[in-house]
């Protein structure tokens, strides 16, 4: 059964810092990995999708990497802003499961 | 990207009653899914909604409790039946335009059972 772990569970940093969120998964037979953002009481916003054949994807200040063989992904946020405060979820598709398997998320607070 | 409208956005229901949640997509999509997010937890897949046939349920979820319809490629409903306080969660609809591609989510339905 696919399992996804996110570290750290919570993170609080001053505005302007660069930061890294980590995600690991147990079954490397995935189709893709997706990073989402969830604001309190809201649905999920897709940030980045990395196909299993790709190593990284970039969107603005966000960069996500994927090392499928080791079962790891990182989300790099450059020059953090208070508006980046949210819960960040990592999810994988495949690995013996239907639909997405989610981690428990990293609750991020950017201090002004 | 697909635009997903989910209704209602929130509801407070009495135990023992049922609630039907609607998910409407602005374009035809191959895959539709329903997820549950219990308080303080991450998302868990309830079922895959199959167009024209019975939904495929994950372990721990059954059709009698969570009946799902998908009459066409743009619409699905999830019913939470005979509700108890333990069903208080956010329920989210998700779509993939074609299988194994980027997933998009609706804004969710926040359900409170009293």
| A 45-104 → B contacts, CB under 8 A | 45-46, 49, 89, 91, 93-94, 97-104
Predicted local distance difference test score (pLDDT) of residue B105: 95
CA angle at residue A103 from B80 to B1, to 5 degrees?
70
Which of B42, B94, B101, B106 would you mutate first to test chain A, the one with the most A CBs within 10 A?
B42
The size of chain A, in residues, is 112
Closest Cα partner for A44 from B77, B80, B43?
Answer: B43
- The DSSP symbol for A60 reads T
Predicted local distance difference test score (pLDDT) of residue A97: 67
Predicted local distance difference test score (pLDDT) of residue A35: 98
Q: Which residues of B touch chain A, with CB atoms under 8 Å apart?
A: 1, 6, 33, 35, 41-45, 48, 56, 58, 92, 94, 100-108, 110
CA distance B69 to chain A (A): 17
Residue among B44, B56, B108 minimizing CB distance to A43? B108
Predicted local distance difference test score (pLDDT) of residue B53: 87
Maximal CA-CA distance, chain B: 39
Neighbours of A104 (CB within 10 A): 17
CB A85, CB A110: distance < 8 Å: yes
Beta carbons of A43 and B33 less than 8 Å apart: no
At A20-65, the pLDDT tens digits run 999 999 999 999 999 999 998 888 999 999 999 999 999 999 999 9
Report how far residue A106's alpha carbon sits from residue A9's, in angstroms, rounded to the nearest whole number: 5
- The DSSP symbol for A15 reads T
At A59-108, the pLDDT tens digits run 999 999 999 999 999 999 999 999 999 999 999 998 666 789 999 999 99
pLDDT averaged over consecutive 10-residue blocks of chain B (114 residues)? 94 98 96 94 94 92 97 97 97 91 94 97
């Amino acid at each position: 059964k696919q399992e996804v772990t996110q570290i750290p569970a919570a993170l609080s940093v001053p505005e302007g810092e660069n930061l890294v969120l980590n995600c690991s998964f147990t079954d490397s037979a995935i189709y893709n990995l997706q990073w989402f953002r969830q604001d309190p009481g809201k649905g999920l916003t897709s940030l980045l999708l990395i196909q299993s054949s790709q190593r990284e994807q970039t969107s603005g200040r966000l960069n996500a990497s994927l090392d499928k063989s080791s079962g790891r992904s990182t989300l790099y946020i450059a020059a953090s802003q208070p508006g980046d405060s949210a819960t960040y979820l990592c999810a994988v598709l495949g690995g013996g499961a239907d639909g997405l398997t989610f981690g428990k998320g990293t609750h991020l607070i950017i201090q002004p | 990207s697909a635009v997903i409208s989910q209704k209602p956005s929130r509801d407070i229901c009495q135990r023992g009653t049922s609630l039907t949640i609607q998910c409407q997509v602005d374009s035809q999509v191959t895959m539709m899914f329903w997820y549950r997010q219990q308080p303080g937890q991450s998302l868990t897949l309830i079922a895959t909604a199959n167009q024209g046939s019975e939904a495929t349920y994950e372990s721990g979820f059954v059709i009698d409790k969570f009946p799902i319809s998908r009459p066409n490629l743009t619409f699905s409903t999830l019913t939470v039946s005979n509700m108890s306080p333990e069903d208080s969660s956010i329920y989210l609809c998700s779509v993939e335009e074609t299988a194994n591609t980027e997933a998009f989510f609706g804004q969710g339905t926040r359900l409170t059972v009293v």
